[in-house]
Amino acid sequence: MFDLTLTFDNGPEPDVTPFVLDILKRRNLRATFFVIGNKLAQPERRVLAERAHAEGHWIGNHSYTHSIPFGMRSESDVSENEIRRTEIEIGPLACSPKLFRPFGGGGNLDRRLLNSEVVEYLTRERYTCVLWNSIPRDWDDPEGWVETALSQCKSRQWTLMVLHDLPTGAMRHLELFLDKVGEAGGRIRQDFPPECVPIRDGIAVQPLEPYVTAVSAARNEMAARG
């Protein structure tokens, strides 16, 4: 027996997101979609987020460009350009409190995720920051991720899994995965395990040091690269 929270990152994608939504609707399941701002700015993609919201799924902010992890960036306006711009695109589809997920360049849970300026912005704007404890790397193993995901679910009481509604072919196996979750006695829920939420409604509820690079350190790293 285990609990599972499903999240889908990096969409919306016209060739994949409707397929995922159809499966979730047939099974009466709710998930969270962490969207990319520059995709949401496209009308044909925004309508998919609107559909997800209308069907009871939560819409979260996953940055505007999904380019460089924030812990490796030192611009003073990175929060405005990446988080605020995306939130403007999300608009009335937003949750309360607003949801934000950083990206770690392949699922890394370390100091590449955030910098101090971003943390200040998230707390000031009263975001809930949602991390994860399961990355089956569906984008990297579109044919074999199901067994990896199931093994990760069975390894803990409550899994917060990151999947991707991207055109890799991985989501063709979503229904199989959900069948296996049911067979294993898994329960799918929409809320998040507390240990995966270091900031809740603008308040740091867990130590942030494991996820934060100081802006000065990020600036020095960028300078060394330049």
End-to-end CA distance of the chain: 50
Q: What is the pLDDT of residues 40-63, one digit of tens each?
A: 999 999 999 999 999 999 999 999
Distances (CA, A) of 62 to 104, 185, 219: 11, 31, 22
- Report the pLDDT value the prediction gives residue 28, as an integer from 0 to 100: 98
- Report the pLDDT value the prediction gives residue 217, as an integer from 0 to 100: 47
Q: Which of 9, 62, 138, 173 is catalytic?
A: 9
- Report the pLDDT value the prediction gives residue 128, as an integer from 0 to 100: 98
Q: Which of 57, 62, 66, 164 is catalytic?
A: 164
Average pLDDT, stretch 204-217? Answer: 84
Active site residue 164: yes
Please determine, for residue 225, whether its predicted confidence score (pLDDT) is greater than 50.
Answer: no
Please determine, for residue 171, whether its predicted confidence score (pLDDT) is greater than 90.
Answer: yes
Q: What is the pLDDT of residues 56-100, one digit of tens each?
A: 999 999 999 999 999 999 888 999 999 999 999 999 999 999 999
* Mean of the per-residue pLDDT values of the chain: 94
- Report the pLDDT value the prediction gives residue 215, as an integer from 0 to 100: 52
Please determine, for residue 210, whether its predicted confidence score (pLDDT) is greater than 50.
Answer: yes
- Report the pLDDT value the prediction gives residue 149, as an integer from 0 to 100: 98
Q: Where are the alpha helices (DSSP H) in 35-173?
A: 37-40, 43-54, 78, 85-90, 116-124, 145-154
User: What are the beta bridge partners of residue 35?
Assistant: 11, 61
Provide the pLDDT confidence category of residue 216 given band limits of 50, 70 and 90.
very low
Closest listed residue to residue 184, CA positions, set 150, 216, 217: 150
Q: What is the CA radius of gyration of the chain?
A: 17
With both helix axes pointing from N to C terminus, report the angle between 174-183 and 145-154 in degrees, rounded to the nearest 10. Answer: 30
Cβ(183)–Cβ(28) below 8 Å: no
* C-beta atoms surrounding 77 within 10 Å: 9
Percent of the chain with pLDDT over 70: 94
Active site residue 22: no
Extract the tokens encoding 118.
Answer: 């971003």
Cβ(98)–Cβ(125) below 8 Å: yes
Provide the pLDDT confidence category of residue 219 given band limits of 50, 70 and 90.
very low
